[in-house]
Structure 1
C-alpha cells in the first residue's frame, strides 16, 4: 500500500521546505543553527501542517542523530525512558533526537521526567505544539530551549507543493491528470496555510477521478473536497481566542468588513454562542455611552439569532455587527468602573456617609441625631450639592465624559445646572 502523499512529498532538505522563510531562509537563525551541526533543545510552535515535523526530520538527518518520535496525546513516561535507553547504542552513536509532538498534552510530571534527561544531556529535545508554549509548556523546559514560531504557509508557496503533488499523482496513475483553471490556486487558498491539508485535498480529488478514462479535476470537485479545510478552529485553542479577539477589535476599530469576516469564521465553525457573547460585550464596552440605545438593539439581534439558530442567525448578527462597527465609540463607562474597582481592590473604601446609610434609628453612640439625607427630587432641577463618596475618597473622579455628541450633551446639561445653583 502506498504511503500517504504528504509523506511521499515530504521535503528532504531545507531548500525544499515551503514557507517558513523567516526562520529557514538564507542566513536566518534556525537555518544557521541547523547548518552549524550543534543542535540545541528547541520548541516549534505553530499550526499543524506547516512543516514542524518535516524540519525536525531534516535536522536529524543532517546532524546524523537517531530520530525518535513520540506524541504527547499517547506517550507515557515509560516511552520516554525507552527512548533514553537507546542512548549510546550502535544506532544512536551520534546521540538521540527526540521529536515530541503535541507536548501540551504532557502533564507536569511527564514534563519533569523529560527535563531530567534534557538536563543530563541524554537526549536533545525538539518539542512541537499548536498552542502557545508559554502557557502550556513547563517553564523549566522553556528556559532550556529555544522557541521558534512556524507560521501558516503563504498561498503561493502552497501552490508549489500542490503542483508537485499532482505531478506525483499523475505518475502514480500512469497518465496526466488534467486540472480545470483555478484548481491549484483554490486548493492552495482553501487549505488555510496547511500544506498537509492541501496534499490531502489533492489526493482526494485524484481518487475521485481515478476511474475516468481521461481524469479531469474540476473546480466544483475541488470545492466539494476542500470546502472546510481552511477552518483552523479549536474552541479550547489559540485560534478560538485569536478569532474572537480580532472580531471585537475590528468592531472597536470601526471596520465593518473585517468584523464581518471574523463573524463569518465564527459562524462557519458553528460557534454561535461566542459570536453573540462578544458582540454584546462590544456594544457595551466600545460603543457604550456614545450611543447607549445600541445595547437593547444588539440584545434583540442576539436573541433573534439564538432563537432561529444557524444558518439564519447570520442575518440578525450581520446587522448588529455592522451597526456596532459603524456606531460612534466611547469606552468611558468601562474606564470609569475599572478605575473605581482599582480603588476598591486597593482597600480605598471609607465609611459610607451617614446621609446615605439605610438607617432608621440613631444609636446612643451618635452625638447628632438624624440621618439628614436630602431627597434630590424635592429640589429644583432634581439636584442639590450633597456628599455621596466616603470621606476617604472625597475628590476621587472615575467618570470622564467622552468626546462624542451624546456624552458632551449630558456634560453641558449638568454643567449648566451646577453653574446655576452655585451662583
Structure 2
C-alpha cells in the first residue's frame, strides 16, 4: 500500500546484519538488554496516490541499550520492475520486506505529510525473541520477496501474522473474527477509503466483480491497516496467568491536519461526466432524427470506446490472479464484441440493413438496467448513463434500418 524508495533496501541490507549480530552478542547484562527491547506496530495515514489511499503498516524494533531502532516494512515495490504494469494487471506483483532506520522511515512520511501512529506491543521476553527471529528469517534474501495480494497477503496482513505467530496464536480479539455477519464487503471497504477519490473508486468498481460484494469476516477486513490498528487496540494475549492487553501504549509519532474533508477534485465526478455524455449523445441523436441522418460516425466512436473498456475487463476476468475480478457483470455493458463486431455494425449502417447485433445489444442492456436492483453485484451509478448511451444509439440504428426497409 506504500512504496518506499528503492534505496530503502540498500540501507536495510547494510544494517540488518549489524542488528542481529548485536542481538546475538553481549552475554553480560542479558536481562537488561532484553528489558529494553520493544516491538511496535506502526500505522501510516492515507496518501494521494491510489496505492496509498488505504494507509500502510510496518513493525518497529527498538533496543535503546544497543542504539538500535529499525522498521521492518513489507510494503516495498518498484515501478522499475520489468513489465511492472503487465504483472500488476495479471496479479503477479512481487513485494519485498525491507529494513531501514526508524528516522529514515518517519522523515519520508513527514515529507509526504502522512500521519504515523505507534502501538507498543505488550510482549514478554520469549515472544520478543520469537518475533525477532521470525523477522530475521523473513529478511533472508531467499525469503524477503513474496507474491503480493491486495486483499489476502499485503503489508498489513504480514505483520499481523508474524505477531500472532510470535505469541503462539494466543491473541484474543473481542469479537468472532471468522464470522461473516459484519455486513461489510471488500467493495464497501474500498468505497470507505476512496470517498474523496471518486475516479479511483469508479475504476475499482468497473474492475471488481461479484466476489467483491460477498460478506467478509472481521479477519478478512484486516487487510486495511486502519482496521488492523483498531483490532489490535481491542485485542489481548491469553496466558495461564490471565489475559494481558496486546497494546500497552499508543503514541502519535507524526501528525498532520486531516486533508480528506477538504479534498476536492477540480474535474467533474464520474457520474457528472457520464450524465454529460448521455445528454450530448441524446442531443446528437435528436439532431440526426430532425435531419434524417444516421450519424454512424458517432456509433463508431462510442462502441469502439466501450469495446476497448470491455477488452480490459475481459482480460482481467480471464487471466488475472487478482481476487474479486471474476465473474464481472460489467461485461454485459462493456465487452470486446463492441469493437470486434464494429466492422459489421458500420457495414450494416452504411447499407441501411438490419443489425441483429445492435438488437441483441439493446435487449441485453435493457434487461441489465431493469434487473439492476436484484443483481448480485453493486454497479456504480456512473455506469447507467453510459449504458443508456449505448441503448439510445442501438435503438437509433435499429429504427433507421426498419424505416429504410419498410
Q: Which has the bigger relative contact order, CA under 8 A and spacing at least 6?
A: 2
Which has a greater percent of strand? 2
Q: Which has the larger radius of gyration?
A: 1
TM-score (norm 2): 0.27
What TM-score results when the alignment is normalised by the length of structure 1? Answer: 0.26
